[in-house]
Structure 1
Amino acid sequence: MFEATPIVWHNGKIVPREQADPSIASHSLHLGIGVFDGITAYWNGDHYYIHRLIQHLERLHNGSNKIGLYYSWSIETLAAGIEELLEQLPPTTYYIRPIIYRSQPNIFITNDIADVTILAVTVPRDVNKSLSCQISTFERVSSRAIPIEWKLCGTYINSYLARTTSQAAGFDDGIMLNQAGNIAEASAANLLFLHQGSIITPSLDSDVFPGITRYTLFDIAHDLGIPVIERTIQPNELACFEGAFLASTMMELKPIHNIQNYQYQTANNQLFKRILAVFREITHQ
């Protein structure tokens, strides 16, 4: 079960979660004006391992500055806040969600200093689950309309629609196409394919989010001598691939066993198993 912890780090101190709630009249609530990130704190028996923490917080900082959500806390302070929060929680693996927003009761655009809250969420980790996906009826929002790389709160209504409609149709997730009709990504994860000893994945100019886990996989592939090809991928190519999987911070790496009527044996694919083994070694340091 996904469950938020009863305490959070909020504007410099640990407080009950409800003290960080925005006003019902906050424009962050009404208009989706906010920036967030997602970070996994892996509990490895006697310590936490957080993969590329500073890179996550730099992305958060850059996105919030781009839309004028300014705050006074340094990246180092936020990193220390995450550590402080984890120290006061029961030891387990958490999904950490820092979010920048405005809590004040003003539904109109303002230049007020933003609030910063870091909450932790317990998440089920069914790491071996294989997924069923469909091509979503919802198009991936164009990065010319809303910059994909900023991880803006309001953008993710696109992801919500893609996933919930796919789940209602009996699938685990939806694969979105971009305006050109090419494959972009899943609702909240990057999509990668396996083909003749290589990884093939949509290029960023296909309205693809530059995920940190995506780049981690590129590093793993480089170390293993596995070619990575970033290019435009059309839906009619789905029959050509030997496997497919999703990658994100929360999802980690999830094999796909079908996209629409195209069947894959990803979980048993030796290339995928090599990549997955190295990824688990990294996250269980």
Structure 2
Amino acid sequence: MIYYYAGKLREGAFPIDPAAPGFRYGAGFFETICYNGSVLCHLDRHLDRLFHALRDHAVPHRSIDFEAAILRVLAENGLSESFARVNIVYPMREPEARPVVMAAPFEPAPHKAYRLCVCSDRHVSALNAYKTTSYMFFHLARRQAQAIGFDDAVLLDLNDNLLESSTGAILLKRQGEYFEMDSPYKLPSTALALAGEVLDVVPATVPLGDLGQYRHAYLLNSLIGMRPIVSIGENAFIPDEGPCQKVTDVVLER
């Protein structure tokens, strides 16, 4: 993989200072952006969220011309005309954090419906509202879900209220109304914000035990757009493609 760091395109291992907070504590922030083969989808929104995180935590950082750097990385990796996942990572180090820009192929599954298990562990923190590089809980939740045959895992707060999945936001529907999870302990999803420009979405606190009251469920993130969820744990949902296409078209800028 060819990546960009400190003003240069580089290949091979990334230089890590073992004394830096980014190595010792997994301290840092990142964003995931979809490149749809011609457009960096909603790059401005992702950069806004990233810089908001850096400012909120008083992290000295250097900015770059991100669009130019990403396009160079895509070209050098042979991805200029391919669907790709782009990551911008700011590992914390002294005297300032500098961005690492990476890109990798991503194979969309435009007809997939998702099966989610319920993560039995809890991880409730103010940092859940940011994409931090200390993402081990989310990584393990998804890995454990896939190990037992599910696509992803639903995460709950300490009162068993739904937060999100390990990879995206959750939207529920009943009687024609759409509901997003209302909690400060989840990521402010870019895809969900875009869905809110297409659909009327109401925030709600949803206990796990109330899932049976909802007819449809959806998973949203910046790479898949919006797709149906057919089950969360023991709760089954009728797959509803109706709103997915128009939301996905907005998220993936098609």
What is the match of residue 236 of structure 1?
A: 209
Percentage of matched positions with identical amino acids: 19
Q: Which of 182, 194, 202 is the equivalent residue of 1:216?
A: 194
TM-score (normalised: structure 2): 0.90
Separation in structure 1 between the aligned mates of residue 180 and residue 250 of structure 2, nearest angstrom: 23
1:242 maps to a residue whose letter is: R
Q: Which of 146, 159, 167 is the equivalent residue of 1:180?
A: 159
Instruction: Map 1:74-93 onto structure 2 (within 5 A).
Output: 74=64, 77-90=65-78, 91-93=81-83
Deviates more, 1:272-281 or 1:34-43: 272-281
What is the match of residue 164 of structure 1?
A: 143
Q: Which of 239, 249, 254 is the equivalent residue of 1:280?
A: 249
TM-score (normalised: structure 1): 0.81
What is the match of residue 10 of structure 1?
A: 5
What is the match of residue 106 of structure 1?
A: none
1:52 deviates by 1.5
Distance 1:278 1:211, change over 3 A: closer
Separation in structure 2 between the aligned mates of residue 168 and residue 15 of structure 1, nearest angstrom: 34
Separation in structure 2 between the aligned mates of residue 60 and residue 158 of structure 1, nearest angstrom: 20
Separation in structure 1 between the aligned mates of residue 247 and residue 124 of structure 2, nearest angstrom: 33
Q: Which of 32, 39, 49 is the equivalent residue of 2:33?
A: 39
Q: C-alpha root-mean-square deviation of aligned residues, in Å?
A: 2.0
Distance 1:278 1:245, change over 3 A: closer
Q: Secondary structure at the match of 2:196?
A: helix
1:245 maps to a residue whose letter is: Y
> Structure 1: 5+ residue runs without aligned partners?
1-5, 103-109, 222-226
Distance 1:140 1:243, change over 3 A: farther
Count of matched residue pairs: 252
Please tell me whether the aligned partners of residues 226 and 247 of structure 2 are also in contact (alpha carbons under 8 angstroms): no
Deviations 1:167-187 (A, max 9, x none): 223221111110222111111
Instruction: Map 1:31-70 onto structure 2 (within 5 A).
Output: 31-43=25-37, 48-70=38-60
What is the match of residue 124 of structure 2?
A: 141
Distance 1:278 1:208, change over 3 A: closer
1:25 deviates by 4.7
1:49 deviates by 1.6
Please tell me whether the aligned partners of residues 220 and 275 of structure 1 are also in contact (alpha carbons under 8 angstroms): no
2:198 maps to a residue whose letter is: I
What is the match of residue 261 of structure 1?
A: 234
1:17 deviates by 4.3
Q: Which of 107, 116, 131 is the equivalent residue of 1:151?
A: 131
What is the match of residue 100 of structure 1?
A: 90
Distance 1:180 1:142, change over 3 A: farther
What is the match of residue 105 of structure 1?
A: none
> Structure 2: 5+ residue runs without aligned partners?
none
Please tell me whether the aligned partners of residues 63 and 98 of structure 2 are also in contact (alpha carbons under 8 angstroms): no
1:61 maps to a residue whose letter is: F
Deviations 1:205-232 (A, max 9, x none): 3x221010010000011xxxxx311110
Separation in structure 2 between the aligned mates of residue 174 and residue 150 of structure 1, nearest angstrom: 19
2:70 maps to a residue whose letter is: I
2:69 maps to a residue whose letter is: G
What is the match of residue 3 of structure 1?
A: none
Deviating beyond 6 angstroms after TM superposition, the runs of 4 or more aligned structure 1 residues are none
Please tell me whether the aligned partners of residues 136 and 177 of structure 1 are also in contact (alpha carbons under 8 angstroms): yes
Please tell me whether the aligned partners of residues 91 and 133 of structure 2 are also in contact (alpha carbons under 8 angstroms): no
